[in-house]
């Protein structure tokens, strides 16, 4: 997958689409584990600050490491 779009050079919709593609919900939490990584949150909610352009993708990702 490509790198995350930079906040200064992308739109909210581009960042939202990146998160949706990077962390797709397959509706099988026992197989996937994405919700566990994000403490029960949907990826879009977990990355809301990135999508809104408030924080970089890397900064938000560091919250979940």
The per-residue pLDDT for range 15-43, each reduced to its tens digit, is 999 999 999 887 776 777 787 888 888 89
pLDDT of amino acid 1: 59
Higher per-residue confidence, 30 vs 62: 62
Instruction: Provide the number of structural domains found in the chain.
Output: 1
Higher per-residue confidence, 33 vs 45: 45
Range of the domain at 26: 7-62
- Domain membership of residue 27 (yes or no) is yes
Percentage of residues of the chain with pLDDT beyond 70 = 97
- Domain membership of residue 17 (yes or no) is yes
pTM to 2 decimal places:
0.86
Average pLDDT over residues 46-63: 97
Alpha helices in 1-65 (DSSP H): 12-22, 29-32, 34-37, 43-46, 48-51, 57-62
- Is the distance from CB of 7 to CB of 13 less than 8 angstroms? no
């Amino acid at each position: 997958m490509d790198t995350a779009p930079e906040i200064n050079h992308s739109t909210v919709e581009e960042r939202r689409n990146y998160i949706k593609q990077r962390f797709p919900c397959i509706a099988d939490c026992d197989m996937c584990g994405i919700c566990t990584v994000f403490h029960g949150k949907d990826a879009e909610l977990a990355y809301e600050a990135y999508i809104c352009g408030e924080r970089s993708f890397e900064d938000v990702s560091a919250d979940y490491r």
